[in-house]
Amino acid sequence: MSRVLLGVTGGIAAYKACELCRLLVKEGHDVVPLVTPAAERFVTAETFRALARRPPGDDVYLHLTRADLLLVAPCTANTLAKLAHGIADNVLTEAALAHRGPTLVAPAMNPRMWSHPATRANAEALRERGVVLVGPDEGETAEGELGVGRMAEPDEILGAARNVLMGTGPLRGKRVLISAGGTREPLDAVRFVGNRSSGRMGIALAAEARRRGAEVTLLAANLAVPAPAGIELVETPTAADLEREALAHAPEADVVVMAAAVADYRPAEALAAKRPKDTAAWTLELEPTTDVLSVLGERRRDGQLLVGFAAETGAAGLERAREKLSRKGADLFVLNDVSRTDIGFDAYENEVTLLTAAAERPVAKAPKEEVAVAILDEVEAMIGNG
C-alpha cells in the first residue's frame, strides 16, 4: 500500500521493532528496513529482511527511492541528533536526508539522555521541521531506571504511522466508494451464474485511494485476491447486494468508482436446494438486473464524482463506451477490452482508455497498480477542476 522506510537504531528496544515491522507488513505496506551498524549489535538486518519479506538481492539504492513515510523506531539519542543536523553517515541517515515525505520517530533512551538539553533541542528542531515524535513513554528502562525514555509500544507507533500516512495524501478527507470483483447470481443452493472478474483492478484502486489518504469503502463481490488493509470492506456477493450497498453508501461518498463486473442478467428464479442431477435439460430464464451506475448517476449529489468501467470487446467498444458515458451520467469511464486474455478480466495487467466529456486518454499496458495510479490522477485532476 505505502512504502515505509523503517529505520532501526542501536537501542535495547530494537527487538520491539521486529514486531512493528511485522505489523506494518500485515497492514499491506512495502517495508524497507534500514538497520544501523549499532542496531546490528541487538538485532540482525537479516531478521528485518525476512520480516519485511524482501528478496535477498534487493536494490541497494532502494532506501533512496520515493517513500511515503520514514519511520525510525527505536530512535537513539545519537540518530535523533544526526537527523536534527542533517548528518548522513549510514544507510538510515542517508535515506533520511534524501527523504521528501513525512517522518515519524519513536525515541528510546535513558531518561537522563532524553532530558539532556542537547536532546531536547534536537527533538524540538525536528518537531519544528514537521517531524512527528511518538513517545517516549514513562516507565522503567531496561537498566532499571525510572523516568521518561521508554519507546512507545509498537501498536501505538503503528497508530501514529497510520495517522501520518492518512494525513498527508492528496485525497485526505475524501470518501471514496469502490466496487470490485464479479457478482454471482444463484441458480440453486450451490450453482451460480458468474463472470471471470478477480477484483484486482478494484483492489488496486482501493489501495491507491487509501495510499492517497482517502477513507475507502470497498464493495467486494467474490474477490479472488485479498483486499487491502485499512479500508471498510462490505461483502456484496450478488448484484442485488451490490445495488443495495452501493445506494446506501453512495450519498456520503465524494468519489464513486464502480469497477466490479455486476451481472447484467440473473436467473429469474433461484432454487433454495441443490437441483439433483438428472438427464433432463435445464432451461433457464434470465431477467435483467438494475443498472446500478445509471441509478447512481440519477441520484448523485452535487460535487460527487462518478467513475464507471466499461468491459467491452473489440473496436466497437470505444463507440459503446462513449455512448455509455453520456447515457449513464458518469464523469469518467474506464474502458477495457475484455476480449484479450493478457489484460482485463482476471489478468495482472490492464490497458485502458480514460473517457471524459472533454477528452479520451489511452493508458499503456501496465500492472493494474499502475493503471490505478493513472485513473486516480485523472480523478484528482477532475476534483481539482470541479
Regarding 10 and contact with ligand FMN (CB under 6 A), the answer is: yes
Regarding 23 and contact with ligand FMN (CB under 6 A), the answer is: no
Distance between CA atoms of residues 35 and 46, nearest Å: 10
Instruction: Report the catalytic residues.
Output: 195
Output 109 or 311, the one with its CB closest to ligand FMN.
Answer: 109
Window contacting ligand FMN (CB under 6 A); options: 75-83, 219-227, 232-240, 362-370: 75-83
| Contact (CB, 8 A) for 383 and 254 | yes
What are the φ/ψ torsions at residue 233 (nearest 5 degrees)? -110, 125
| Contact (CB, 8 A) for 42 and 15 | yes
Regarding 88 and contact with ligand FMN (CB under 6 A), the answer is: no
Output 36 or 238, the one with its CB closest to ligand FMN.
Answer: 36
Regarding 108 and contact with ligand FMN (CB under 6 A), the answer is: yes
87: Cβ contacts below 8 Å, ≥ 6 apart: 81, 93
User: Could you tell me the smallest distance in angstroms from the CB atom of residue 150 to ligand FMN?
Assistant: 9
Output 108 or 376, the one with its CB closest to ligand FMN.
Answer: 108
DSSP-assigned states of every residue in 320-363: HHHHHHHHTT-SEEEEEETT-SSSSTT-SEEEEEEE-SS-EEEE
Answer for which of 1, 2, 24, 36 binds ligand FMN (CB under 6 A) is: 36
User: Could you tell me the smallest distance in angstroms from the CB atom of residue 65 to ligand FMN?
Assistant: 22
Regarding 5 and contact with ligand FMN (CB under 6 A), the answer is: no
- From the CB of residue 135, how many other CB atoms can be counted at a distance below 10 Å? 23
| Contact (CB, 8 A) for 315 and 323 | no
Window contacting ligand FMN (CB under 6 A); options: 5-13, 52-60, 177-185, 377-385: 5-13
What are the φ/ψ torsions at residue 216 (nearest 5 degrees)? -110, 135
Answer for which of 47, 76, 217, 336 binds ligand FMN (CB under 6 A) is: 76
Residue 220 CA: distances (Å) to CA of 52, 101, 155: 27, 32, 28
Regarding 353 and contact with ligand FMN (CB under 6 A), the answer is: no
Exposed, middle or buried, 322 (CB in 10 Å: 0-12/13-18/19+)? middle
SS (H, E, C) 250-319: HHHCCEEEECCECCCEEECCCCCCCCCCCCCCCCCCEEECCCHHHHHHHHCCCCCEEEEEEEECCCHHHH
55: Cβ contacts below 8 Å, ≥ 6 apart: none
Sign for the CA dihedral angle at 234, 351, 196, 183 comes to positive
Regarding 84 and contact with ligand FMN (CB under 6 A), the answer is: no
Output 76 or 183, the one with its CB closest to ligand FMN.
Answer: 76
Regarding 148 and contact with ligand FMN (CB under 6 A), the answer is: no
Q: Please list every residue from 253 through 282 that binds ligand FMN, using CB under 6 A.
A: none
Regarding 182 and contact with ligand FMN (CB under 6 A), the answer is: no
Regarding 366 and contact with ligand FMN (CB under 6 A), the answer is: no
Residue count, binding to ligand FMN (CB under 6 A): 16
| Contact (CB, 8 A) for 308 and 330 | yes
Regarding 240 and contact with ligand FMN (CB under 6 A), the answer is: no
Answer for which of 4, 71, 109, 187 binds ligand FMN (CB under 6 A) is: 109
User: Could you tell me the smallest distance in angstroms from the CB atom of residue 12 to ligand FMN?
Assistant: 5
Output 38 or 148, the one with its CB closest to ligand FMN.
Answer: 38
Output 82 or 200, the one with its CB closest to ligand FMN.
Answer: 82
Nearest partner of 202 among 170, 169, 162, 233, judged by Cα: 233
Regarding 64 and contact with ligand FMN (CB under 6 A), the answer is: no
User: Could you tell me the smallest distance in angstroms from the CB atom of residue 290 to ligand FMN?
Assistant: 60
Answer for which of 1, 77, 239, 321 binds ligand FMN (CB under 6 A) is: 77
> Can you tell me which residue has the cell 477484483?
199
Answer for which of 5, 6, 11, 321 binds ligand FMN (CB under 6 A) is: 11
Residues that bind ligand FMN (CB under 6 A): 9-13, 36, 38-39, 76-79, 90, 108-109, 113
